[in-house]
Chain A
Amino acid sequence: MNETRAEAGSPYRAQVLAHARTPLHQHALRRCDAAADGRNALCGDNIRIELTLREGRIADYAFRAEACALTVAAASMLGERVRGFDLRAVQALAVQFDQLLDGSVAVEAGAELGDLAAFAELVAFPARRKCARLPFATLLAALHGDAHASTEEA
């Protein structure tokens, strides 16, 4: 029995676990033009996203997190997608991601999302969606010039 693979229906798909175990872009940036701290206090998820910007587009992306596997994996996957994106492109991607999480868009339509499409199983786990959303909210905060973000309701 392979104990390291989660069954179908699990939010911990292989891509999610791979990104959570060995995250990409997990470091600090030497040159940081924008940054924000995301915090879900009730959950205990903390993440900091730093960006280097070139003409309003993301040239470099890095994060550091003390957070659950879903937040870390989403932050890692996000870094793979958003280089070259401006605010509007990130917003458009965030809308797609939200639709994926609440099930209003079929998974195939999530091609733009890349590995982030692996979060489709969160449709069945509404209590955990805020974990996967936190990196997006933090990235958007950084691009808006806000210092803080959260995906927990007040």
Chain B
Amino acid sequence: MSTSSAVAAGFDIDRVRADFPLLARTVHGNKPLVYLDNANTAQKPACVIDAVNGFYRERNANVARAVHVLSEEATNLYEGARNALARFIHAGSAQELVLTSGTTMATNLVAYSYLLPRLKPGDSVLVTRMEHHANIVPWQLVGQRAGATLKAAPIDARGELRVDEFIAMLTPDVRLAAVTHVSNVLGTVNPLAEIAAACRKRGIPLLVDGSQAVPHMAVDVRALGCDFYAFTGHKMCGPTGTGGLWARREILADMMPFFGGGEMIREVRIEGSTFADPPGRFEAGTPNIAGFAGLGVAVGYLEGIGMQRIAAREQELLAYATARLKQVPGLRIIGEAAHKAAVISFLIEGAHAHDLATLLDLEGVAVRSGHHCAHPLMQFYGVPATCRASFAFYNTFAEADALVAAVHKARSLLA
């Protein structure tokens, strides 16, 4: 299979792959690694690894605490990452971006700092059936404290949100709507413009979980029309323990801190403290400075390739792998939305997802099997687990072939 096509033209896959040291390794003896677990975490280019390493070798200091040169350099790196991320997601300004350990921290921050003080008994939070646990459990935890409930809008069998039902569920008791941009299991890209417009019309704030979107498409948080946008760094070629929460400035200004400690204060007296302006107010303690040094570089790396080109290449990989997998007898794809990202969840009749994943692993093909932190979605499809192959721009058509060959072999052993 050739990689040449109109959209992928100018995409030098060999050069791109050479940027990722890990992609060259072998597993189980001498099998070349075929890494198709990108929705779980992405591999890191050498420039990101070097940035983390370089921070500890040459610049290690705490941020914004000392006047010495190292601290200033560390602060510049950390704030530089904030600026790069803000630009990357088209935030109005870097002051609208709280740096967090990832999406989970971001949703919890909204749950405790924004939502909990506003929740009353009888209130509710509206999510969808396809949410990751990070966009379910925080709302349940604060809901329990306040006597509020969680409700989930349905999806259809193809894995598309029933937008009409979602909008009908935006009743006056809803204090927050929380929707994923892209489903980590189904790949479904949700129609956020329509959702955001409906929320805005009713004065209901909208949080978007962008974990699976930011690494794969150009994201413009202001154009989306949401109020909060949460994302994680490690899925976008950055280090683990990095991520962010974007929110409009006036919303952040109206939120009390959730974590207290150093860095986030203006003045501390035993009688009471005053807090720094956002986003610093929400960043208590020493942050993951080295991680953000790496994430800032990751943003530059992705911009260097171009998000349009990344999206186009991944769409080609998706179309190719989907067509080939559909030829495998007994294979069922879970998630066939019209608009989807390069995530393919599948099952094979008579074969358990974990057996499939182990047999694929023996062929060097790394996929995820299990519930993908989306129990309610698995319950909807009536399956305990699926196998999920998820692509990144550095994957190849030959790797899609290797996946299909390994699936054929596994099927012959199991089914």
Contact = CB atoms under 8 A, between A and B. Distances in A.
A68 B353 CA distance: 8
Contact of B370 (A17, A43, A125, A128): A43
Given A42-B370, A42-B371, A43-B385, A68 B362 contact: no
A69 interface: yes
Nearest to B385: A44
Contact of A12 (B359, B370, B384): B359
Contacts of A41: 384
Interface in B330-379: 351-355, 358-359, 362, 370-371
A41 B385 CA distance: 10
Contact of B358 (A7, A11, A42, A67): A11
Nearest to A7: B362
B358 A44 contact: no
A117 interface: no
Interface string A73-95: 00000000000000000000000
B409 A3 contact: yes
Interface string B370-405: 110000000000011100000000000000000000
A6 B383 CA distance: 27
Contacts of A10: 359, 362
Interface string A29-51: 00000000000011111000000
A45 B383 CA distance: 11
Contact of B352 (A9, A11, A69): A69
Contact of A68 (B28, B354, B383, B412): B354
A6 B384 contact: no
Interface of A: 3-4, 6-7, 9-12, 17, 20, 41-45, 67-70, 125, 128, 131
Interface of B: 28-29, 351-355, 358-359, 362, 370-371, 383-385, 408-409, 412-414
Given A12-B413, A68-B354, 13 more contacts: A4-B412, A7-B362, A11-B358, A12-B355, A12-B359, A41-B384, A43-B385, A44-B353, A44-B384, A67-B352, A68-B353, A70-B354, A128-B354
